């Protein structure tokens, strides 16, 4: 394959059950622009842009996988002998995703060695999720005072979470005990409690979220009580949340732009028919409490989201010069104009392009284009 300043990509659409079947889904619009287009009766959940072995993007027109192209010429493509450090996604969730967390590097290596079928790689998976439209999520544990206030109002929930065995416990010890008792409760106990909580529920956002989860997943899944433990967040377009390792979360719905380290490791414990690993989840969580911070674009000519990892960085494209870091540009609306010393290109909405580390490319966005790149200082 010859060296080019940019490579147009054809990317995989994942068809998970929680995805959207709407005819105007953002993913259907993207797929129609030259990606992996699903049938009309299939849900569309995620568009994967990157080189992860589970679903590497393909270079057009060669139909060579980006992963193979990187391995063929690693110095030009990523200026490294390792792997592309990030995975870039668009999500459209019409139903909640599982209660989950992502492991740090040490735990990822252990889980992959022990159970590669369920933990397909040995990498960590910090991630940044940015709202495109209607994003709702459960993220991180609430203040203990909020959890205890729910227990006071919903006596049956406190009993399910340990009742009198919680007396005298405080702080992290209280939270660990209550959450472990909830997530390990027998299905019959959960169902009995769900009926009592439903009868006592009011009209708060947490109560409405509980009722929706119970309607979708039934009364026997302990994950339906997550709104009483985790922060319920509604994000405006452009707002983001950063999730480090070992932080519990569930995306409840919406159209989302997501950047992460190149990994597909997910430790699940509810709200899903997929493999759940409750013991691992309970042992790995940080049990930090309090409101989860919203991440905003910086105020500069080419704004970016400040995050505490170097695996990836995300910026909004107006006028950007390539910085010798590999990246993927996604045109959500309008056009993206690319220029190097020898050629120019104009790419419409829906286009995804890989910019090699060895290329010197100027990017000009008209509309909405995002660029996910390896973070400065990253070492594979």
**pLDDT recorded at residue 379:** 64
**pLDDT recorded at residue 82:** 85
Q: How far apart are CA 246 and CA 142, in angstroms?
A: 15
Tokens linked to 111 = 């889980």
State the fold for domain 10-55+81-139+234-284. Answer: Jelly Rolls (2.60.120)
Parse the chain into domains and list their residue ranges.
Answer: 10-55+81-139+234-284, 143-224
Which letter does DSSP use for residue 73 in this model?
Answer: S
Which contiguous run of DSSP H or E holds residue 76? helix 74-77
Catalytic annotation present for 15: no
Query: Taking the CB of residue 170, how many other CB atoms lie within 10 A of it?
Result: 9
Is 135 within 8 Å of 235 (Cβ atoms)? yes
Peptide bond into 61 cis (omega under 30): yes
| DSSP β-bridge partners for residue 142 | none
- Write the pLDDT tens digit of every residue in 180-205: 999 999 999 999 999 999 999 999 99
Q: How far apart are CA 170 and CA 175, in angstroms?
A: 8
Q: Which of 193, 176, 139, 135 is nearest to 281 (CA)?
A: 176
The DSSP secondary structure of 45-56, one letter per residue, reads -EEEES--TTS-
Is 133 within 8 Å of 255 (Cβ atoms)? yes
Pick the catalytic residue from 142, 158, 268, 315: 268
- Write the pLDDT tens digit of every residue in 22-56: 989 999 999 888 888 888 789 999 999 999 999 99
Give 10-residue mean pLDDT values along the chain (380 residues).
93 94 91 85 94 95 93 93 93 96 96 96 95 98 97 97 95 97 97 97 96 97 98 98 97 97 94 95 97 94 91 91 86 95 93 95 93 80
């Amino acid at each position: 394959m010859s060296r080019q300043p940019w490579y147009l990509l054809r990317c995989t659409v994942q068809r998970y059950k929680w995805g959207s079947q709407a005819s105007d889904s953002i993913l259907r619009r993207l797929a129609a622009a030259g990606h992996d287009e699903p049938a009309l009766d299939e849900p569309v959940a995620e568009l994967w842009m990157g080189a992860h072995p589970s679903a590497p993007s393909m270079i057009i027109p060669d139909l060579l996988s980006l992963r193979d192209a990187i391995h063929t010429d690693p110095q030009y493509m990523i200026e490294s002998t390792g792997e592309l450090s990030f995975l870039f996604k668009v999500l459209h969730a019409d139903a909640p995703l599982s209660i989950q967390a992502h492991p740090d590097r040490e735990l990822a290596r252990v889980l992959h060695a022990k159970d590669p079928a369920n933990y397909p790689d040995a990498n960590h998976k910090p991630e940044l999720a940015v709202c495109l439209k209607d994003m709702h999520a459960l993220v991180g544990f609430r203040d203990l005072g909020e959890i205890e206030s729910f227990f006071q109002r919903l006596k049956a929930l406190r009993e399910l979470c340990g009742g009198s065995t919680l007396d005298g416990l405080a702080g992290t010890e209280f939270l660990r005990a209550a959450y472990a008792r909830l997530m390990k409760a027998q299905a019959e106990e959960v169902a009995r409690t769900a009926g009592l909580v439903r009868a006592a529920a009011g009209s708060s956002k947490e109560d409405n979220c509980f009722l929706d989860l119970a309607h979708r997943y039934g009364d026997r899944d302990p994950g339906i009580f997550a709104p009483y433990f985790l922060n319920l967040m509604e994000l405006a377009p452009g707002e983001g949340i950063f999730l480090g390792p070992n932080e519990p979360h569930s995306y409840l719905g919406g159209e989302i732009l997501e950047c992460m380290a190149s990994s597909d490791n997910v430790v699940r414990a509810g709200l899903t028919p997929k493999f759940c690993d409750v013991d691992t989840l309970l042992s790995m969580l940080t049990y930090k409490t309090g409101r989860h911070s919203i991440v905003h674009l910086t105020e500069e000519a080419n704004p970016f989201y400040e995050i505490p990892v170097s695996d990836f960085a995300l910026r909004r494209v107006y006028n950007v010069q390539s910085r010798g870091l590999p990246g993927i540009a996604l045109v959500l609306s309008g056009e993206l104009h690319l220029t190097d010393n020898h050629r120019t290109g104009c790419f419409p909405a829906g286009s995804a392009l890989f910019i090699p580390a060895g290329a010197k490319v100027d990017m000009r966005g008209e509309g909405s284009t995002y660029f996910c790149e390896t973070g400065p200082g990253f070492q594979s």
